Structure 1
Amino acid sequence: MASVGFLGLGIMGKAMAANLVKAGFDVTVWNRNSEKCAELVALGARQGSTPKDVAASCDITFAMVSDPEAALALCQGPDGVAAGIGAGRGYVDMSTVNDTTSKTIAGLISQAGGRFLEAPVSGTKKPAEDGTLIILAAGDQSLYNDVKPAFEVMGKMSPYLGDVGQGANMKLVVNMMMGGMLSIFSEGMSLGQKAGLDGRQILDIVDAGAMSNPMFKGKGAMLLNENYTTSFPLKHMQKDMRLAVALGDQLEQPLPTAAIANEAFKQAIKAGFAEEDIAAVYKVIK
């Protein structure tokens, strides 16, 4: 793969782009707030002036932004990706959006002659830094084959899931389960401690049984230390829960547990914890 672009250098994008630079890829970066590019340029990346400019000068361009609106805005307009992509070049959107947004972006890119892959990721800040994300790819299979070397640098697993929309759907299913688990976990931790149980012992007992999982281990420590340093912003989890519940409406699939968990995350945003880690949902539950 000759040259790659990377648009969006937030918590996730910065770490992912840095791994590509360190692995020897020729990387051009762009971010809405251009100051965030400095760290990557110091590592050896080039800085692009607009998304159009990056898409026009790179064989394949990756994007990692916060939500459907931002993902769409990146592609549209005179300075957008679609204006620069041209024939045969590839665009890989790794943002978490809904299937409708993904299909809209796919349309814009293919109309402009480009190839499109959606590739949302499962994993937060540390997996992004360690290159152990789970990449959920769907769309143009030739582009999937071409970007496999880059996926192998950024993630530990990158299954091909079929048509555009299926990567988005898989991501929403996974995050919906995560949000629901975190909500019931917070209730259990809160109930146990109010009943006089030791929080550390609750975690040890859960960890020794069938419910043992890395999320309870990691987030459990955060709850007990009341340290909500952000690896996955709470507002983004609420956005994913909202999109999952909307998908349930579309498919006439009842999601009572997810709907209630979504309300807990909405309460947490209202209480002012939007920018904190998803574990901060515990604060409104306790």
Structure 2
Amino acid sequence: MTLAYAFIGLGHLGGNLAASLLRNGFAVTVFDRDPAALERLIALGATAATSPAEAAARAGNAITCLPSPKVSEAVLAGSDGLLDGLPAGGTWIEMSTNGRDEIVRLAALASAKGIETLECPVTGGVHLAAAGKITALVGGEAALYERHRPAIEAMCAKSFLMGPVGSAAVIKVITNMLAFIH
């Protein structure tokens, strides 16, 4: 059975990742504050929602790709956020770049509502995301990773399980540091 996903955050990176899900046959409900970003994904076959909560309630699982930890927290736990829409047993896949302590804290908020979390920051940049050739660094339970691996691999050419939630954030910081050095 193919899972359905809400996708919140349709900027340069998130829009390309959501488009990859659509190209690979996933049902995607989208939300973004930018109407033009929504229209681009609707034209590719996505369904629009009026809030993160509505998108999450329709899909049962949610993916976020957002510009900062503050925005990630607001989309997850704020008014009309994912925690208001995701059902117990649903999954939140956080593709934004967050610090280890931040993603662990946000995952605990989700867990308190019965929602499982995978952190899934990516490396490679927008140009590789557009071609579906980006790499995902995944943190979370192995069984949860396997459940959502088809969607992750629809967006990313490679994905690697780093360990529990928080592990991928550490590796992402290291890869960023190495990229800046070179």
Q: Determine if the TM-score, normalized by the shorter chain, exceeds 0.5.
A: yes
SS across alignment from 1:96: coil
Please state which structure has a larger fraction of its residues in helix.
1
Which amino acid in the other structure matches residue 121 of structure 2?
P
Q: Could you list the per-position Cα deviations for residues 196-251 of structure 1 after superposition, in whole angstroms to 9, with x for gaps in the alignment?
A: xxxxxxxxxxxxxxxxxxxxxxxxxxxxxxxxxxxxxxxxxxxxxxxxxxxxxxxx
Contact 1:72 1:101 survives alignment (8 Å): no
Which residue of structure 1 lines up, in the alignment, with residue 120 of structure 2?
A: 119
Residue 32 (structure 1) shift: 2.1
Which residue of structure 1 lines up, in the alignment, with residue 39 of structure 2?
A: 38
Which residue of structure 1 lines up, in the alignment, with residue 17 of structure 2?
A: 16
Q: Could you list the per-position Cα deviations for residues 163-189 of structure 1 after superposition, in whole angstroms to 9, with x for gaps in the alignment?
A: 1111111000000111122xxxxxxxx
Separation of aligned partners in 2, 1:56 and 1:87: 11
Contact 1:83 1:112 survives alignment (8 Å): no
Cα distance, 1:110–1:64 mapped onto 2, change above 3 Å: same
Please state which structure has a larger fraction of its residues in strand.
2
Under a length normalisation based on structure 1, what TM-score does the superposition of the two structures give? 0.61
Which residue of structure 1 lines up, in the alignment, with residue 65 of structure 2?
A: 64
Separation of aligned partners in 1, 2:117 and 2:91: 6
Contact 1:56 1:84 survives alignment (8 Å): yes
Contact 2:52 2:75 survives alignment (8 Å): yes
Structure 1 position 54 matched with structure 2 position 44? no
In the alignment, structure 1 segments of 5+ residues that lack a partner are: 182-286
Which residue of structure 2 lines up, in the alignment, with residue 169 of structure 1?
A: 170
Residue 141 (structure 1) shift: 2.6
Where do 1:140-151 residues align within 5 Å? 140-151=141-152
Which residue of structure 2 lines up, in the alignment, with residue 203 of structure 1?
A: none
Which segment drifts farther, 86-95 or 29-38? 29-38
Q: Could you list the per-position Cα deviations for residues 116-154 of structure 1 after superposition, in whole angstroms to 9, with x for gaps in the alignment?
A: 100000011111011111100011333211111111111
Larger radius of gyration: 1
In the alignment, structure 2 segments of 5+ residues that lack a partner are: none
Residue 52 (structure 1) shift: 1.1
Residue 95 (structure 1) shift: 0.3
Structure with larger RCO (C-alpha < 8 A, sep 6+): 2
Under a length normalisation based on structure 2, what TM-score does the superposition of the two structures give? 0.95
Residue 161 (structure 1) shift: 1.0
Separation of aligned partners in 2, 1:34 and 1:73: 19
Separation of aligned partners in 1, 2:78 and 2:15: 24
Where do 1:197-208 residues align within 5 Å? none
> What count of residue pairs does the alignment treat as equivalent?
181
Identity %: 33
Contact 1:29 1:48 survives alignment (8 Å): yes
Which residue of structure 2 lines up, in the alignment, with residue 272 of structure 1?
A: none
